[in-house]
Amino acid sequence: MPYVKFAEIVLSIPLNKKFHYSIPLSCINQIGIGKRVKVPFRGRTIIGYCVGLTDVSGIKEIKDIIQVIDAKPIFTPQLLAISKWMADFYFCGWGEALETFLPFAVRNSFHAKTVNVVRLSKDEGFVKEALTSLKKKAPRQGKALEILLKGEEMTVSELSRVSGCNLQGIYRLRERDLVSLRKKPADDTPLFAGRHLPKTDHLMPTKEQERAIVFIKTRLREGKYRTVLLRGVTGSGKTEIYLQAISETIALGRKAIVLVPEISLTPQTIERFRSRFDKISVLHSSLTEKQRYNQWWEIKNGNADIVIGARSALFAPLDNLGLIVIDEEHENTFKQDSTPRYNARDLSLVRAQYENAVVVLGSATPSLESYHNAGLGKYDYVTLKSRIGDNPLPRVQIVDMRGEIQRGKRQSCISRYLELNMKKCLAQKGQIILFLNRRGFSSFVNCRRCGFVLMCKKCDISLTYHKKQDVVICHYCYHEASVPKECPECKNPGINFFAFGTEKIEEEIKAKFPSYRLLRMDSDTMRGNNAHEKALSAFKRGDIDILLGTQMIAKGLDFPNVTLVGVLSADTIIHLPDFRASERTFQLLSQVAGRTGRGSQEGLVIIQTFNPEHYSIIFAASHDYDGFAKKELEYRKQLYYPPYGRLARIVLRGKREEDVKERSIELAEKLKDTIKLYKNTVEILGPSPAPVTRVKDNYRWHIVVKAINIEYLQQVLTSIKDEPRISKKVQTVIDVDAYMML
């Protein structure tokens, strides 16, 4: 092999470019594409990633690589290609994208003390044949084999202690290829230690499930990239379809990734999958650094067939990936809210194309983008219209909270109807879930008497109150208006800024139901390792009567004894200044409604709202996804919002509002000059103060770029890709396919 002079290195900085470094003779036999290296950069030593080798460089003074970190490439060619696509599409540095693929503990070379562990290297039948001879010739070695036949693996010292076989005897077993030795962290507690689950067989599928299973298995056997949208009502058995599809994937000699949108879903998902399969690894943020490090290397070393986790599990270093399952694919938690701002659902399709894998997108309420793509024939489409056992979908009752106000219940968050049904449910030993979404910015200007909400006439988006300016602003067309002194609809002088939270409701429930056990699940209470798992396990055991929570309890959970679900306010999302507000409202109401009626008893859902006439609430109450999708898509098409167009959001932030405003205007003018070439196919909205104007002492302004297709959007954004993202005064963030506009 000829001597290669230079390595192409990318760094975790906001620049999408490759740097050339010389390869010293000491590194020439170590360097390789996909490996990490230490390099000098701006007076310090940092870690970079080798993405290429070359004999040519136009740089006059090139520094040497200091050290090659990895003995073997840490990234496969497929993962390198995906990370490059990710950097180009989401306008981040290639090194920033690659760093996302590695848990922090792996990036920083976390090291633990190691011990040797020993396990059988042959199948049980072969070992038993050898054991007959060893019992006579080397009884202590035979004793060691007998012990290993009873379990998976042991440390060498522990095996030696209980069997009496010394280290030399264990090495002789290895020479005969009866056992193998490997190193693992000395103080590592296995992730699933003490959690022994009885193995289960595949369940007998319904006719709808069988049709879906056969369809997906056929796609898997083709060995080509395909995307399947699996739409099934809540309780229709989508998980069983995932399990049988994964079983087929493993039978074909391939591997699978399963993504769930919430950490709270992970324990139940893992339990179901571990009851069917053995070689499972988990990647999510609730693991300790040590556990993440160990799990990642287990996957990298080929010891996992299935990886389960939140969005970052998409980057698991699996070889021969055959299937990616995205459960609850509509969830915006699959969208990363820091650089690189990728969407794991969309990126899963990219990875599947590079790996010739099948993607299954599962949901009871698919995103309108996925639904639209299925309608165009870009995705295969399979539906499950019935629940398992033909259990009916829950009955849904809408409570008009305007009537509660008129009856003098101004201070209560729980209507009389909901309170009455809570008493009935608890008396019958049923369990209750109460849901309130407080994610994001939720204040809106609302008449508590008639339900009127101040809306932008042009954009059909709620106006947001800005206290500093004492005005309401539309954050799409940036129309401003003063706050009315009375309701424009009913002339009531008591117009309000509406909001309430789970902590206030917790106090009210305890006062009304002091003898029943209440658990609150939100970001304030669910802290620490295994907090979600402990809380949900307690609820599943029946230790909790009432579960009060935010979005983390709204989806994917299966508790047969839940017979009542109360949605305390359907209005906290519906009037957010975001074009997806109606879609999110419909999805959340449908998902949380699906938590009840999953057992032998009929379920009841009570939705409290000041806007009972809103179409998203009406369609959710009647379980009519198709009706909602048709109506919402009509609105989207008129304004070229996704899926009929594409958009990006540019957010600028800094300590001084004057600096942020000035920079926003400069950037917007540059974009407006660029779009002159596109003849009304691209639109620039803004700049304007962001709905949440100040965060962590930083002022925020934003610009929205709308285009009729992704090609035009990317071309326009490319015109500012070389603009400095970080300066001393203002930081600039480009969010392609933005999911949150706040």
Residues 577-605 have a mean pLDDT of: 84
Of residues 197 and 37, the one with the higher pLDDT is 37
CATH class of domain segment(s) 646-736: alpha beta
> Hey, which of 50-64, 258-272, 462-476 has the most confident mean pLDDT?
50-64
pLDDT digits (tens, 9 = 90+) for 226-239: 999 999 998 889 99
Distance CA 31, CA 50 (A): 8
* DSSP of 275-302: TT-S-EEEE-TTS-HHHHHHHHHHHHTT
Q: Closest Cα partner for 396 from 607, 586, 567?
A: 607
Q: Closest Cα partner for 17 from 104, 122, 120, 88?
A: 88
- What pLDDT is attached to residue 414? 87
- What pLDDT is attached to residue 468? 59
pLDDT digits (tens, 9 = 90+) for 32-75: 999 999 999 999 999 999 999 999 888 888 999 999 999 999 99
Compute the radius of gyration of the chain from its Cα atoms. 29
Residues 689-698 have a mean pLDDT of: 81
CATH class of domain segment(s) 114-185: alpha beta
Residues 668-677 have a mean pLDDT of: 93
Q: Closest Cα partner for 459 from 608, 621, 578?
A: 578
Fold match, 114-185 / 207-389: no
What's domain 6-107's architecture? 3-Layer(aba) Sandwich (3.40)
CB 439 within 8 A of CB 580: no
Buried b or exposed e, range 103-122, using 16+ CB within 10 angstroms: bebbbeebeeeebebbebbe
Position 548 pLDDT exceeds 80: yes
**pLDDT, averaged across the chain:** 86
Domain definitions of the chain by residue range: 6-107, 114-185, 207-389, 392-442+499-635, 646-736
Residues 273-299 have a mean pLDDT of: 86
Position 322 pLDDT exceeds 60: yes
- What pLDDT is attached to residue 523? 61
- What pLDDT is attached to residue 125? 75
Position 258 pLDDT exceeds 50: yes
- What pLDDT is attached to residue 441? 30
Q: Closest Cα partner for 570 from 529, 514, 510, 610?
A: 610
Residues 715-742 have a mean pLDDT of: 88
CATH 3.40.50.1100 for the 392-442+499-635 domain, yes or no: no
Residues 680-696 have a mean pLDDT of: 86
Encoded tokens for 717: 């954004």
- What pLDDT is attached to residue 326? 97
Position 681 pLDDT exceeds 70: yes
Position 28 pLDDT exceeds 70: yes
Share of the chain above pLDDT 90, in %: 49
Share of the chain above pLDDT 70, in %: 88
Q: Among all chains, which residue has been given the structure tokens 């399952």?
A: 325
- What pLDDT is attached to residue 128? 80
Return the number of other C-beta atoms located less than 10 Å from residue 515's C-beta: 6
pLDDT digits (tens, 9 = 90+) for 444-455: 677 777 778 887
- What pLDDT is attached to residue 520? 84
- What pLDDT is attached to residue 736? 96
The amino acid at 211: R
Distance CA 95, CA 389 (A): 50
Position 501 pLDDT exceeds 80: no
Fold of 207-389: Rossmann fold (3.40.50)
Of residues 105 and 363, the one with the higher pLDDT is 363
pLDDT digits (tens, 9 = 90+) for 358-392: 999 999 999 999 999 999 999 999 999 988 887 88
CB 328 within 8 A of CB 365: no
Residue 702: which pLDDT band, with cuts at 50, 70 and 90?
very high
Residues 162-175 have a mean pLDDT of: 86
Helix (H) / strand (E) element for 270: namely helix 266-274
CB 439 within 8 A of CB 551: yes
Distance CA 388, CA 233 (A): 10
- What pLDDT is attached to residue 409? 53
3-state percent helix, strand, coil for the chain, nearest multiple of 5: 35, 25, 40
Residues 244-267 have a mean pLDDT of: 87
Residues 106-111 have a mean pLDDT of: 71
Residues 687-703 have a mean pLDDT of: 86
Which of 273-287, 498-512, 722-736 has the lowest average pLDDT? 498-512
